[in-house]
Structure 1
Amino acid sequence: MKLKWTLLLMLSLLLSVFLVACSGDEGETTEETGSDDTQSEETTDEGDSGEQVLNFINGDTIPSMDPSLATDEYGFQFIGATMEGLYRLDENAKPVEGIAKDHSVSKDGLIWTFELREDAKWSNGDAVTAHDFVYGWQRAVNPDTGSEYGPYMMSGVIKNAEEVSKGDKPVEELGVKAEDDYTFVVELANPVPYFESLTTFGTFMPLNKKFVEEQGDKFATSSDTLLSNGPYKFVDWESTSTSWELEKNEDYWDAETVQLDKMTYEVVKDPQTSVDLYEAGTIDRAGLSSDLVDQYSTHEDYVVTPETSVFYLKMNQTRNDALANTNIRAAISRAYNKQALVDEILNNGSIVANGLIPKDFAPMPGSGEDFREVSGDLVTYDVDKANEYWEKGLEELGTDKVEIEFLAGDTETAKTMNEYLVNQLESNLPGLDITLKQVPFEQRLDLDTNMDYDIQFAGWGPDYLDPYTFLTLWITDGGNNKMGYSNPDYDALLDEASVDLAQDNEARYENFLEAEKILFEDAAIAPIYQRAKAQLVSPKVQGVFVNPFGATYEYKWASAGSEQ
């Protein structure tokens, strides 16, 4: 997830599908799946009572607050604000104390023993114990739960997670146990270099078994059917809410560190409306669409923040015969001008993506070189080459015409980008006829899950600090694949990296480089851009950290300061 790590700018909103991780979008205008990415807008002020208050916008409703079922940036953003796992990320994206005070690791890297604090409580007064982690993690991989992220995040990581998720072993055989109330022991399937950072992610939250089972199907559908053990808790929220509040959780073990008394949220999809609210002082952060960037780039509150979320076209190889053809997919991936898109439509600091792993995310072990620089440009805009592939593909299909449905978001910024991409593809590939289907974020997630689309505008924000968080998306039958892609050589490289090479980071990264090349030789996806956020941010918004993975924003240390 992570998808993280989220939320974002208007454009951000534009986008996506962020399923997980990182990665939905909260307050601006692009959506991602996965760690899917989403983002939030905030505002702050002190009311007459002297309360510390931030007021935000969110790009859409929250699809799910169930840690076992969330797959998008919106869900993971608010799970991160209201819940706490073993660790949480600090200002430098390093894991710091959460429910765990400390841990030890066996010499073979397989047994992790976490010492839990005894002063952590749920918002109903119950103690947070090791049993809550056992139940939460087991529930995430229990096939009866129907989680996408549980199997995705835990298979090949926690011992027996894959077997449990497939129903081949009982959930009690998952490699987790409560040695006592405050000692949580995890047995890994293989050494995992990034495991500590993984424990900060939303899927790995503890759950109060008695409460969850009492709520049944209503669990996590409203503020009354949720429990918090993190810095904040929901007020007056339901799954269909277009406005809600978070208030400080006085039962949080570190409540004295939390300075904000309240954060308010309202769903706003239109960039101009967001800016109008900012100018009126109603919110303290607003994402900017490209036309608004030109207008506000000299504003004293203008800020551009690079991100590690990548957006691309997913091409479903199972529903449309044309997209099962490698040459057709290769043509599509080269037939739109990405530089013009980031310069003219996004205009927010986003950069062209010619691969999957983002720039400035993963340094190569040993040399420290950026993975993206070493791997290079794997697919670029090239109309001549696109037409060569297109003609080969049409010949192989025995046709001169291809009809495709394009699934994308319905925010104002998204619509502009969608229309641009459709125009580019139809103009540069003779005989291509595209039907544009623009739907709300939650509906897009459902269509993706059911593989009910041809081409989809999607995005992914990392769920942890490792290239594997991106590359594992396309493993055969993986929980986030959802497009029918399969290559045994690709699978083998990633399997070797996670098993035989688990403790040899340099060799792991060589496998990652080779796997990424295979992905683009197969034209599995068509990369578009790596996101940045252009925003107006009030100087009152202080202590808000932007995470490179997982929930987009960290608010534990946030405050509503003076405008001066």
Structure 2
Amino acid sequence: MRRKLKNSAFILCMVFALILSGCNFSSSEKTDEKTEGNKDASQVLNITEPADVPTLDSTKAHDGIAFTVLNNVNEGLYRQDENNLPIKALATEHVESDDKITHTFTLRDSNWSNGDPVTAQDFEFAWKRVMKENSAYGFMFVTAGIKNAESILNEEKDSDELGIKAIDEKTLEVTLEGPNPLFQTLLTFPTFLPQNQKFVEEQGDQYALEYDNILFNGPYKLVEWTHEQGWKYEKNEKYWDADAVKLDKINVFVVKDPSTGTNLYETEKVDRVELSSALVDQYKDDENFQTMKESGLVFLRFNHNHPVLGNKDIRRAINMAIDKKSLTDVILKDGSTPLNGVVPGGFYNSPDNKDFREINGDFNTGTIEEAQKLWEQGLKETGQKDLTVSINIADSDDHKKVAEYIQAQLEDNLPGFKLDIKAVPFAQRLVIEKAIEFDLSLSSWGPDYSDPMTYLDMWLKDGSANRMDYYNPKLDALVTEARNETDLAKRYVMLLNLEKILLEEDAAIAPLYQEGESILIRKKIKDVLVHPTGAEFSFKWASIEE
């Protein structure tokens, strides 16, 4: 997921100076220039990213910035379209066995940037390499249900036993543990990209650390990468679908502070920037201002072992006592929207194309008076007259603002409630959560794949993402049933019911808001696709128009 970084004023100035000199902004192509002999706008896009790319090794990459680069310079069996649905990329044919366990892919003719053909062996090598090195996203092979993936991660089997085999250069066979409705969707994720074995082994531990020690087989190729300053894409003329690619170049500049980004935007050095909440009021009336929904959510975890917070009425009261609209519209002002469910709106449609959030509606909403009634009832049930608890938060500015708002809301609206804020570094916040050594914890979650299940199976007993000792056997059983259901309509009903168990039946967490983003983007920039999971951006179909 994207990293929004903040720096001191001193670092801001230093970064700005370095960018202007080191990345040669003064000579970067502006998008309103004309190509010689061509009346159309120059197809050059200038954008920012908040951090450098740690690695472009698809078997090791674990951050949204690397995923975006890999998505645009490489290609796998499938990629995401404008609706975030999987479409065939290097696969021209995908045949399932009758039991939906064996999947056979036929590859199209395509080449790496060094001229070598992309083969089925490239997929087998890369996928087994993920498992061999126990890479960060190896669990995606388990989620995809690929045969022996879980046993390999548990060190019960060898990586060579992963259920993938190159039948010949153009035929790839993948074997699953059982039918998996998520399989095709997951294949768009960068961890499932191919790699050229000979080239990887020649590069050794330097592979993918610079632009000239990685191969490209996607819409673009990297032609420059200056660490901590930026990188440049150029159209890959050897790409199999090069005719669909409109942009000639993309210049990406590492800009770690929103104020620096807006300065660059104002001087027409870049075409798209993110705004901090402090800058929203200044630009909200600009014709190029936009707010965008993101797929991440922020919510309150409750320690379900706590003698008072373990009470469902208390949890409902806390949920209902917070004015979420004021939180997003007055405090955050960054495009975030109130959320009263665990699956965010605008991304996950049913088989008949209805939004998940619209179908299931809102949970645990009501008036302050209703919240106070539940509060009094919960205190009576637990034998208490008041309650003092603490909230575990990361020490970021945004989390501090949110926690202070929640503190004021709960102490004002629930008589006898006292909330102490305990801010710690982000990594320590996670340690505290995993140990369940908190009362309340301000948490966030970004999806791993484009399906509601990525928000719903978090709450399995002893699951790594549960982190609050919540358990409902009905939920666990229904997750197992939904994972094996291949009738998509029936499965979607199960997903809806999973959320109802979590929130309607148990009020297990308190959703706060769906994350948003406020941006400035020039009107002439068309068809930059923004995805909720995996790679954030696809530039394959992007263009610049007058």
Q: TM-score range with shorter-chain normalisation? A: 0.7 to 0.9
The match for 1:528 is 512
Moved more, 223-232 or 73-82: 223-232
* Distance of 1:220 and 1:324 partners within structure 2: 48
Task: Mark the CA change 1:335 to 1:68 in structure 2 (over 3 Å): closer, same or farther.
Answer: farther
1:253 counterpart residue number: 240
2:340 equivalent to 1:354? yes
Q: Residues 490 and 420 of structure 1: is their aligned pair in 2 closer, same or farther, counting only changes over 3 Å?
A: same
**Deviation per residue, 1:508-543 (Å, 9 max, x gap):** 223222221232355544312224443321123123
- Confirm or deny that 1:518 pairs with 2:506: no
Choose the corresponding residue for 2:116, options 99, 119, 126: 126
The residue aligned with 1:45 is: 31
- Whether contact under 8 Å (1:405, 1:436) holds in the other structure is yes
Identity rate of aligned residues, in percent? 40
Provide closer, same or farther for how the CA distance between residues 64 and 435 of structure 1 changes in structure 2, counting only shifts above 3 A: farther
Give, in whole Å, the separation in 2 of the partners of 1:270 and 1:285.
14
Deviation at 1:199, TM superposition (A): 1.4
Cross-structure match for 2:216: 228
Counterpart code for 1:116: L
What is the aligned counterpart of 2:76 among 85, 90, 114? 85
1:177 aligned partner: 165
> Do structure 1's residue 336 and structure 2's residue 336 form an aligned pair?
no
1:140 to 122, 127, 130: 130
SS at match of 1:80: helix
- Is 1:552 aligned to residue 536 of structure 2? yes
Measured on the aligned residues, the alpha-carbon RMSD in Å equals 4.0
Question: CA contact under 8 A between 1:314 and 1:483: conserved in structure 2?
Answer: no
Matched position secondary structure for 2:31:
strand
Q: Using the alignment, how far apart are the partners of 1:489 and 1:216 within structure 2?
A: 49
CA–CA distance in structure 2, aligned partners of residues 71 and 329 of structure 1: 34
- 2:12 aligns to what? none
Q: Deviations over 1:461-518 (max 9, x none)?
A: 4622x3223223333455655666554432221111112xx22223322322222123
1:228–1:316 CA distance, 2 compared to 1 (3 A)? farther
| Residue 147 of structure 2: aligned partner | 159
Distance 1:384 1:268 in 2: 46
Query: Contact (CA 8 Å) 1:76, 1:202: kept in 2 or not?
Result: yes
Secondary structure, counterpart of 1:45 in structure 2: coil
Structure 1 residue 304 displacement after superposition = 3.6
Q: Structure 1 length as normaliser, TM-score?
A: 0.77
SS in structure 2 of the partner of residue 431 of structure 1 = strand
Q: What secondary structure sits across from 1:374 in the alignment? A: helix
CA distance, structure 2, for counterparts of residue 513 and residue 108 of structure 1: 26
Q: Tell me: higher relative CO, structure 1 or 2? Use CA pairs within 8 A at least 6 residues apart.
A: 1
Partner of 1:498: 483
Which of residues 274, 290, 315 in structure 2 aligns to 1:303?
Answer: 290
Deviation at 1:284, TM superposition (A): 0.9
Q: What's the counterpart of residue 23 of structure 1?
A: none
Change in Cα spacing, 1:462 to 1:373, as seen in structure 2 (3 Å) is farther
Q: Which residue of 2 aligns with 1:457?
A: 443
Unmatched 5+ stretches in structure 2: 7-27, 37-41
Q: Is the 8 A contact 2:120 2:171 kept in 1?
A: yes
Which residue matches 2:492?
Answer: 509
Structure 1 contact 288–348 (Cα < 8 Å) conserved: yes
Count of residue correspondences: 511
Q: Distance in 2 between matches of 1:141 and 1:482?
A: 26
Question: 1:350–1:530: 8 Å Cα contact kept in structure 2?
Answer: yes
- Post-superposition CA distance 1:255-280 (Å, at most 9, x none): 44433333223333444433332222
Q: Is the Cα–Cα contact under 8 Å of residues 316 and 323 in structure 1 kept in the other structure? A: no
Q: What's 1:472 paired with? A: 457
Q: TM-score with structure 2 length normalisation?
A: 0.79
Q: Over residues 328-383 of structure 1, what are the superposed CA-to-partner deviations in whole Å (9 max), with x where a residue is unaligned?
A: 766654453211112223445543111112224444446x5543233232234755
Aligned to 2:331: 345
Rounded to whole Å, the distance in 2 between the matches of 1:257 and 1:138 is 32
Which position in structure 1 is the counterpart of 2:273?
286
Q: Which amino acid aligns with 1:557?
A: W
Task: Give me the whole-angstrom Cα distance separating, in 2, the residues matched to 1:393 and 1:83.
Answer: 58
Which digits, 9 at most, give the CA deviation of each residue in 1:175-196, with x for residues without a partner? 2111111111112223233433
Query: How far apart, in 2, do the equivalents of 1:555 and 1:323 lie?
Result: 50
Distance 1:137 1:290 in 2: 41
Of residues 213-222 and 448-457 in structure 1, the stretch that sits farther from structure 2 once superposed is 448-457
Per the TM alignment, residue 419 of structure 1 is displaced from its structure 2 partner at its CA by 4.5
Letter in 1 for 2:155: G
For 1:114, the aligned partner's letter is F
State the partner residue of 1:27.
Answer: none
Give the Cα–Cα distance (whole angstroms) in 2 for the partners of residues 72 and 480 of structure 1: 18
Whichever of the two has the greater Rg, that structure is 2
